[in-house]
Amino acid sequence: MSDPADLSNLRDIVVPPEVALWPPAPGWWILLAGGIAMAAIFAGMIVARYRRNAYRRAALVALDTADAGDISSILKRVALAAWPRAEVASLTGAEWLAFLDRTARSNVFTQGAGRDLEGLAFGGAGDEQAVRAAARNWIRRHRC
């Protein structure tokens, strides 16, 4: 009889076969589906933001080619695109400049270079480049 403790009875360790990489486990499929859904939602948010800001891009193009007297009307059109007509349409003078400052969280139009906006609108004198820069900044940064 053979002795079970005899070293001649030893065999090599049996290694299990390697785990296949394909098809992946169900958890990986769920993770992939979640990642695709998140990417689609993120892309949708980017497209929606791009479309929401179309009025800003159009106003910036119009501002580049506008006369000094048209800057105020461009700002008014931008404001009408972003806020209800009842809130914006009747604003003139100091109220209009205060509205521009309040929505941009600055004081450029009531105390800074934007004060000349009203004068330029009616053919008066003023620093056109500074007013144009203030208007460009307001178009880019105003918050509803």
pLDDT digits (tens, 9 = 90+) for 33-77: 999 999 999 999 999 999 999 999 999 999 999 988 899 999 999
How far apart (Å, rounded) are the C-alpha atoms in residues 137 and 131?
10
- The overall average pLDDT reported for the chain is 91
Percent of the chain with pLDDT over 90: 66
Q: What six digits make up the tokens of 128?
A: 């056109």
* Neighbour count for residue 35 (Cβ, 10 Å): 10
How far apart (Å, rounded) are the C-alpha atoms in residues 51 and 66?
23
Predicted pLDDT of residue 85: 94
Q: Which of 84, 127, 78, 134 is nearest to 109 (CA)?
A: 134
Backbone angles phi, psi at 66, to 5 degrees: -80, 155
Query: Is 99's pLDDT higher than 90?
Result: yes
Q: How confident is the model at residue 11 (pLDDT cuts 50, 70, 90)?
A: confident
Least reliable range by pLDDT among 37-41, 93-97, 120-124, 138-142: 120-124
Q: How confident is the model at residue 1 (pLDDT cuts 50, 70, 90)?
A: low
